[in-house]
C-alpha cells in the first residue's frame, strides 16, 4: 500500500518503537492516531507532529478504550488502513523464588497486556478495515504486531513475557488466513535489543555490553530501523502472515 494518504493507529505510540513508527508514517504522508496510556507525553507528541496526528488515551486491556481509539481514527480521518500494535510491558520473575511460587496474577497481567490486548485491538481494527474500499491491489488494510526475540529465545525469568510474545507470533498466520478474503494482511516484528528510552536508563557500560552481543552490526538497534521495517511491511503487498526478527542475528543467552 502507498503510505501517503493512509490512516494508521499506533498503540504504545507515545514513546520508543511506537513513536518512531508514528514519526516515519507521518513523514511518508500518513495520518496517525497515537494511542497510549501516558496522556501527558502523548498529547505533547501529537501537538509536535501537527494536524496529521491526534492522541487518544488507551489502556489496551480495556476494550472500551480500544474501541474509542479505533473510532477516533474513523471520526477524525475518515478511515483506518494500518494498525501497529506496539503497546506492551516487559516484566521478569522466575517461576519460584526463596519465598515460594511467583504470583499467578503477575503472569496473567503480562499476558493480558501483551497478547490479549493486542488481539482486542486487532479484532476491532479489522472490522473497520473490512469496510474500506479495496485499493488497486485488493488491499483494505495491514496490521503489524510487535513481538520480541524472547518469543523464541526466552531468558531466565521471562516465562510470562516469552509466552505472551510467542502468542503474538503464533497468531500471525492464522489471523492472516482469517482476513485473507477481506484483503487485510497481518504481520509481526520480533525486535531484539533496541536503543529505546527504557534501555537509556541503563549505565553506558551495560548498554555497550548488550550491543556487543549482537553479531552484526555490533550495537543496539535504532528505533528508526524498526520504523523502516514497519513502512516496508505496509508497502510490500506480498508480505503476509510472517513474523520477522529484527535483531542483528542475535540469539539470546540463558540470562
Cβ atoms < 10 Å from Cβ of 17: 26
Cβ atoms < 10 Å from Cβ of 161: 24
* Secondary structure of residue 157 in the 3-state scheme: coil
* Secondary structure of residue 183 in the 3-state scheme: coil
Q: What angle do CA 253, 96, 91 make, to 5 degrees?
A: 55
Query: How far apart (Å, rounded) are the C-alpha atoms in residues 62 and 45?
Result: 23
Active-site residue (options: 55, 77, 107, 161): 161
Q: 510487535: which residue's cell?
A: 146
Q: 480495556: which residue's cell?
A: 62
The yes-or-no answer on residue 238 being catalytic is no
Cβ atoms < 10 Å from Cβ of 38: 15
- Write out the catalytic residue numbers: 161
Amino acid at each position: 500500500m502507498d503510505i501517503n494518504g493512509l490512516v494508521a493507529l499506533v498503540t504504545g505510540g507515545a514513546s520508543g518503537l511506537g513513536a518512531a513508527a508514528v514519526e516515519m508514517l507521518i513523514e511518508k504522508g500518513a495520518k496517525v492516531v497515537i494511542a497510549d496510556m501516558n496522556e501527558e507525553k502523548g498529547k505533547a507528541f501529537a501537538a509536535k507532529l501537527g494536524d496529521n496526528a491526534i492522541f487518544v488515551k488507551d489502556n489496551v486491556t480495556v476494550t472500551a478504550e480500544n474501541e474509542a481509539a479505533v473510532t477516533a481514527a474513523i471520526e477524525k480521518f475518515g478511515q483506518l488502513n494500518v494498525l501497529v500494535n506496539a503497546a506492551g510491558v516487559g516484566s521478569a520473575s522466575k517461576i519460584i523464588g526463596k519465598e515460594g511460587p511467583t504470583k499467578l496474577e503477575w503472569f496473567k497481567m503480562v499476558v493480558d497486556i501483551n497478547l490479549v490486548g493486542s488481539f482486542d485491538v486487532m479484532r476491532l481494527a479489522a472490522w473497520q478495515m473490512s469496510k474500506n474500499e479495496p485499493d488497486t491491489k485488493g488491499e483494505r488494510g495491514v496490521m503489524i504486531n510487535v513481538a520480541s526475540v524472547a518469543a523464541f529465545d526466552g531468558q531466565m525469568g521471562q516465562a510470562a513475557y516469552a509466552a505472551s510474545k510467542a502468542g503474538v507470533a503464533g497468531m500471525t498466520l492464522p489471523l492472516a488466513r482469517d482476513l485473507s478474503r477481506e484483503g487485510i494482511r497481518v504481520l509481526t516484528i520480533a525486535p531484539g535489543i533496541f536503543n529505546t528510552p527504557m534501555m537509556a536508563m541503563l549505565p553506558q557500560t551495560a548498554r555497550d555490553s548488550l550491543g556487543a552481543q549482537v553479531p552484526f552490526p555490533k550495537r543496539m538497534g535504532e528505533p528508526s530501523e524498526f520504523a523502516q521495517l514497519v513502512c516496508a511491511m505496509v508497502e510490500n503487498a506480498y508480505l503476509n502472515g510472517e513474523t520477522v526478527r529484527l535483531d542483528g542475528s542475535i540469539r539470546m543467552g540463558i540470562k
